[in-house]
Chains A and B, each alone.
Chain A
Amino acid sequence: MRNVLEQVLQCNKRNAWVAAAALALLLLVLPFATDTLLGRGWVRIVDFALLYIMLALGLNIVVGYAGLLDLGYIAFFAVGAYCYALLGSPLFGLHWPFWIVLPLGALLACFFGVLLGAPTLRLRGDYLAIVTLGFGEIIRIFLNNLNAPVNITNGPQGISLIDPIQIGGFSLGTAHELFGLVFPSVYLYYYLFLAIALLIIFASLRLQDSRIGRAWMAIREDEVAAHAMGINTRNVKLLAFAMGATFGGAAGGLFAGFQGFISPESFSLTESIMVVCMVVLGGMGNIGGVVLGGVLLVVLPEILRHGAGPAQQALFGKTVVDPESLRMLLFGLALILVMLWRPAGLWPSTQRQRELTSASAVRQQDAYDAGK
């Protein structure tokens, strides 16, 4: 699937259309194929992969484009999720429609992004990372403790029975029969998540190649020079934080509706680090790389979880290492190996290479070489 995507980006126009069509078809039948080949549980994993891709793409704006290390990103995911859960669950008896609650959650996350960013963005590098890490923990601890004296978040028990996402009268929480095919709930969520992930990819691509995107990258490259060139670094960094948080908040709302249950446990520091890993391992600043990172970091641990036990049984006749611990062990090893061999990520930004191989650039290069 990734090879196809790579081709989309690198081949000439006609091939690109063919590859795009193939990719679109693949993405359309993916839930059916996964279900038939691997089972229903895997469709759910694919749905989660899409959610993480959205998160990673949001964080990519902050870390990959603007170069601000945010270790508390999951807090925005939490804000979006809790906003959805509070306005769409029996806890307060509110059942607002999805199309109001989801944008509201994204907006609220955006607000929190600005709230966090305004006082902290004068910090750089490690210092910013520490403050954002603290912010992530503050949000989680608040959610954990806001059950007394007035119960708002239901504390560590979390919020259950959250309304499934419902578009018009069409609930994504139950199976539907369309065009003679049965679409179980996980399939429907898959298509919704896919559409929104594609929307975020589209937005990321457009932002990357714009005045604002260039300003972000200039700040990443050299903040002092960017400031001296007339970029209002504070505002532009705040904008990156707000955009990243918005995407995170939207993903959070989708997560709450999909899962039906959320608790502060889902928004721990480990989750923040996972999302940072997706961005860094996949290839900071490169959308394809970030998507790849998201898929790998969701799917690989699952493969290990399902595969490690039986593999040990077959090899040694008994389970030597608990699959769960083995999973983290291999995961850590993979991280170290990638950082050693591909420090720029598995799929680093190829934008420059593509620019260099494009026809006009080749002509320019030839002219330049001839001149030498």
Chain B
Amino acid sequence: MTQASEALLALSGVGKKFGGLVALADVSLHIRRGEIYGLIGPNGAGKTTLFNILTGLYQLDEGNFTFNGRVYSRCKAHVLAQAGIARTFQNIRLFANMSVLENVMVGRHLRTHAGIWGALTRNAAARAEEKAVLQRAGELLRYVGIASPHHTLAKNLSYGEQRRLEIARALATDPQLLALDEPAAGMNATETASLKILLQTIRASGVTVLLIEHDVKLILGLCDRVAVLDYGRKIAEGVPEEVRCNPAVVTAYLGTDDADAEDE
């Protein structure tokens, strides 16, 4: 049980500024191995900034974070992907003019090794690797439930399938932590329901999930714990039901009854 409850990802005092704008200030949180952790907050609260720091697209200004017990602050994106953090993007960023299959195969890049020599000679090792990559990509496409032919260009997929393809591509990197940035955005109720089942399956397979989401029903039904960000600060953390009743959270989302209340 100690193994299951240990912190996979631990942030302490993470801060990020863009010029004079404080995007994140003193954010500390722990994500335990094997849980589904929700990150919510009003628009502009700094959720995606936090994601970008965790996946190496931004470098943090203050604090640090550890993953699997190692400090990874200020590492580049590919190092963090190698370490086992994979992500999807809020505004889908697939390789639009590559096929569905190739998109997932790109995800295998960091777990494979064939270089120029292997590509030119197609020696036994390169062929075996290519075959394994192809097979794994096919498996992942079935796993996330993409019905379109594998040779369809990614840009021609339906919106829901594009979201799923991003998840498949992220899973292809063999992540320990899968960070999903609003995976249900723009989905209808049926698609959201099947996404929920997919995320539960992914968690059951041993991958920890970090989720940014606005769909409260999805968060409540899925997440083990939730943290709430507002103006770059963590204002609440806990099990979803508890967080929902937290007065600070209610204030952040709905505002206060009158302006004076803020001074109290």
In the bound complex, residues from chain A placing their C-beta under 8 Å from that of B94 are 221-222, 225
In the bound complex, residues from chain B placing their C-beta under 8 Å from that of A340 are none
Q: Is the CB of A228 within 8 A of B57?
A: yes
Indicate which residue in B93, B109, B173 contacts A215 across the interface (CB closer than 8 Å).
B109
Known: A218-B98, A231-B110. A361 touches B78 (CB 8 A): no
CB distance from A202 to the nearest CB of B (A): 8
Interface string of B98-139 (1 = CB under 8 A from A): 110010011111101011101110100010011001000000
Stretch at the interface among A171-179, A184-192, A364-372: A364-372
Known: A211-B114, A228-B55. A233 touches B78 (CB 8 A): yes
In the bound complex, residues from chain A placing their C-beta under 8 Å from that of B106 are 214-215, 218, 226, 229, 231
CB distance from A318 to the nearest CB of B (A): 51
Q: Is the CB of A210 within 8 A of B119?
A: yes
Q: Is the CB of A230 within 8 A of B89?
A: no
In the bound complex, residues from chain A placing their C-beta under 8 Å from that of B112 are 211
Q: Kindly state whether residue A232 has any CB partner on chain B within 8 Å.
A: yes
Q: Is the CB of A229 within 8 A of B109?
A: yes
Interface centre among A217, A218, A226 (most CB of B within 10 A): A218
CB distance from A304 to the nearest CB of B (A): 35
Q: Kindly state whether residue A334 has any CB partner on chain B within 8 Å.
A: no
> CB-nearest residue of chain A relative to B133?
A211
In the bound complex, residues from chain A placing their C-beta under 8 Å from that of B119 are 206-207, 210-213
Q: Kindly state whether residue B148 has any CB partner on chain A within 8 Å.
A: yes
In the bound complex, residues from chain A placing their C-beta under 8 Å from that of B107 are 229-230
CB distance from A81 to the nearest CB of B (A): 24
> CB-nearest residue of chain A relative to B89?
A225
Q: Kindly state whether residue A13 has any CB partner on chain B within 8 Å.
A: no
Interface centre among B95, B107, B112 (most CB of A within 10 A): B95
- Number of B residues, CB within 8 Å of A: 46
Q: Is the CB of A355 within 8 A of B99?
A: yes
Q: Is the CB of A212 within 8 A of B95?
A: no
Interface centre among B77, B87, B114 (most CB of A within 10 A): B77
> CB-nearest residue of chain B relative to A361?
B151
In the bound complex, residues from chain A placing their C-beta under 8 Å from that of B98 are 214, 217-218, 221
Q: Kindly state whether residue A277 has any CB partner on chain B within 8 Å.
A: no
CA distance A364 to B99 in the complex (A): 14
Q: Kindly state whether residue A243 has any CB partner on chain B within 8 Å.
A: yes
In the bound complex, residues from chain B placing their C-beta under 8 Å from that of A306 are none
Q: Kindly state whether residue A124 has any CB partner on chain B within 8 Å.
A: no
> CB-nearest residue of chain B relative to A355?
B151
Interface string of A227-245 (1 = CB under 8 A from B): 1111111000001000100
Q: Kindly state whether residue B21 has any CB partner on chain A within 8 Å.
A: no
Q: Kindly state whether residue A224 has any CB partner on chain B within 8 Å.
A: yes
Q: Is the CB of B116 within 8 A of A225?
A: no
In the bound complex, residues from chain B placing their C-beta under 8 Å from that of A206 are 119-120, 122
Q: Kindly state whether residue B7 has any CB partner on chain A within 8 Å.
A: no
In the bound complex, residues from chain B placing their C-beta under 8 Å from that of A218 are 95, 98, 106, 109
In the bound complex, residues from chain B placing their C-beta under 8 Å from that of A330 are none
Q: Kindly state whether residue A352 has any CB partner on chain B within 8 Å.
A: yes
Q: Kindly state whether residue B82 has any CB partner on chain A within 8 Å.
A: yes
Q: Kindly state whether residue B211 has any CB partner on chain A within 8 Å.
A: no
CA distance A215 to B118 in the complex (A): 14
In the bound complex, residues from chain A placing their C-beta under 8 Å from that of B5 are none
In the bound complex, residues from chain B placing their C-beta under 8 Å from that of A212 are 114-116, 119
Q: Kindly state whether residue B220 has any CB partner on chain A within 8 Å.
A: no
Q: Is the CB of B57 within 8 A of A227?
A: yes
> CB-nearest residue of chain B relative to A232?
B78
Q: Is the CB of A229 within 8 A of B110?
A: yes
Q: Kindly state whether residue B150 has any CB partner on chain A within 8 Å.
A: yes
Q: Kindly state whether residue B96 has any CB partner on chain A within 8 Å.
A: yes
Q: Kindly state whether residue A203 has any CB partner on chain B within 8 Å.
A: yes
In the bound complex, residues from chain B placing their C-beta under 8 Å from that of A213 are 119
Q: Kindly state whether residue A356 has any CB partner on chain B within 8 Å.
A: yes
Q: Is the CB of B150 within 8 A of A239?
A: no
CA distance A355 to B151 in the complex (A): 7
In the bound complex, residues from chain B placing their C-beta under 8 Å from that of A203 are 120
> CB-nearest residue of chain A relative to B55?
A228
Indicate which residue in A207, A222, A228, A352 contacts B77 across the interface (CB closer than 8 Å).
A228
Known: A214-B98, A228-B56, A232-B78. A239 touches B149 (CB 8 A): no
Pick 21 A–B contacts, CB within 8 A, sort by A.
Answer: A210-B119, A210-B126, A211-B109, A211-B112, A214-B98, A217-B95, A217-B102, A218-B98, A221-B94, A221-B97, A222-B94, A227-B56, A228-B55, A229-B170, A230-B78, A230-B110, A233-B78, A361-B150, A361-B151, A364-B149, A365-B149
Chain A contacts to B: CB under 8 angstroms: 203, 206-207, 210-215, 217-218, 221-222, 224-233, 239, 243, 352, 355-356, 361, 364-365, 368, 371
* 3 nearest CB pairs, A to B: A230-B110, A230-B81, A210-B119
